[in-house]
Amino acid sequence: MESACATREPISTFLESSFREDVCLRLLAESQNSDGGWSSYPGSRSATEPTCLAFLALSAVPDEAVAKSIRRGMEWLRRTQLADGGWPAVAEQEKSCWVTALACMALHSQRDESGAVDAGLEWLCANWPAEGNLWWRIRAKLHRKTTTVQQDSMLRGWSWTPGTASWVEPTTHALLALRAIPARLHPKSAAERIDLGERMLYNRMCPGGGWNAGNPLVYGVGGMPRIGATAWALLALSEYRERAENQQSLEWLRRQYDSIRGPVSLALAQICLSVYDCAPPRFERGLQQLYSANQFLHSIHAAAWSAMALSAPNEWLWGPRRKGGAHGADH
């Protein structure tokens, strides 16, 4: 299929900007909690996802004070890791969940050698979504003709929380984490999980391209793709960029770009289109317009994603360059 991105935009789109420093990075730097973590909004309790995002965004800043912040963030992450190797989304939770992939990526990006990443990957690969259990398989056999959702539930990716089904975004997080971390550090089951996860994502693509949370067809009606889920899926599948599904979804994302009204969606779309070499040059202007509307509602997520989208490419999101080809490629 012809590439959805015929012309490659110059990489200078991503050069550092004052908006990145004065708004995004400043908010992140000033919002670190005294315990070393970040919360979703300044003044709230530290949580795993905003901590990972903040320090992934700040890790691109060559500054000693920032490096100290990142070290404190790493300590917070190591302290909050649960005994089973995973991480909870918030301190009040006692169960590991979807944020484990993000925590592994964040710690690995700082070359953490505490063993926390190994334990996190073990948890990630050992926890299967619930649709693979015996009861599910029996039910699936008995109700083959169900028309509620039409997807192959034997293609298991990752769930948001233990004991539930696979969904697009947690699957993409796990795939990106496993791609960012060298295969020699992977648990034994990683290759199988990666293969299943990638096939699951392609199986869950919406008719016509793009992804939503994970139900491409409900009662025979095609699901509406969403910006965030599509960007995540394309990032996780960027090794297969020439595949028709990728190109179709990329084209959908490009068509939506000018209608995006949320900073997180815009930043994710920008990162994704950059990875596919077709980022629009008007990103920063659009981002500033969104900022002027609500000041991102002081969201750490929005500030972190915006900073990352305005930075030089993050290795963990960009992944290996153009391997092309089929499933089972060398991870």
Partner 1 sequence: MALTTEPLRPSFEQPPARVAIRRAANYEADLETLIYETLREFDPPVHGKSVLLKPNFVEPDPRCVINTHPAVVAAARESFLRLGAREVLLGEAPGNERDTEGILETIGLRDFTGPLDGIFVDLNLDDVERVPTRTRASKLKELYLPKAILRADFVVSMPKMKTHHWAGVTLSLKNMFGIVPGNCYGWPKNVLHWAGLTNSILDINSTVRPDFAIVDGIVGMEGNGPTQGTAKSAGVLVMGDDPVAVDGTCARLMGLVPERIDYLKRAGLLLGHLKLEKIRQLGETVESARTPFQVTEAFRQLVA
Distance CA 229, CA 7 (A): 24
| Binder among 68, 139, 261, 285 for partner 1 (CB under 8 A) | 261
If DSSP codes are grouped into helix, strand and coil, which group holds residue 160?
Answer: coil
If DSSP codes are grouped into helix, strand and coil, which group holds residue 244?
Answer: helix
* Binding flag, residue 92, partner 1 (CB under 8 A): yes
Helical residues (DSSP H) of the chain, grouped into ranges: 18-19, 26-30, 48-58, 64-80, 99-109, 116-126, 134-142, 168-180, 190-203, 227-236, 244-256, 263-275, 283-294, 300-309, 315-318
Site for partner 1 in 152-181 (CB under 8 A): 159-161, 163-165, 167, 169-170
With vertex at residue 121, the alpha carbon angle to CA 175 and CA 68, rounded to the nearest 5 degrees, is 95
Give the interface segment with partner 1, choosing from 29-37, 89-97, 173-181, 319-327 (CB under 8 A): 89-97
* Binding flag, residue 252, partner 1 (CB under 8 A): no
Site string for partner 1, 264-303 (x = CB under 8 A): xx------------------------x--xxxxxxx-xx-
- The residue assigned the tokens 């990752």 is 158
Q: C-beta of 213: minimal distance to partner 1 in Å?
A: 5
The number of residues that bind partner 1 (CB under 8 A) is 51
Q: C-beta of 331: minimal distance to partner 1 in Å?
A: 26
DSSP string, 81-101: --TTS---SBTT--S--THHH
* Binding flag, residue 258, partner 1 (CB under 8 A): no
For 61, residues 6+ apart whose C-beta sits below 8 A from its C-beta are 25
Site string for partner 1, 204-243 (x = CB under 8 A): --------xx----xx-x-xx-xxx---------------
Residue 61 vs 174, nearer CB to partner 1: 174
For 197, residues 6+ apart whose C-beta sits below 8 A from its C-beta are 156, 157, 158, 171, 174, 175, 236
Q: C-beta of 47: minimal distance to partner 1 in Å?
A: 7
If DSSP codes are grouped into helix, strand and coil, which group holds residue 218?
Answer: strand
Site string for partner 1, 32-71 (x = CB under 8 A): -------xxx--xx-x-xx---------------------
Which residue type does 239 have? E
Residues near partner 1 (CB under 8 A) = 39-41, 44-45, 47, 49-50, 89-90, 92-93, 97-98, 130, 148, 159-161, 163-165, 167, 169-170, 212-213, 218-219, 221, 223-224, 226-228, 260-265, 290, 293-299, 301-302
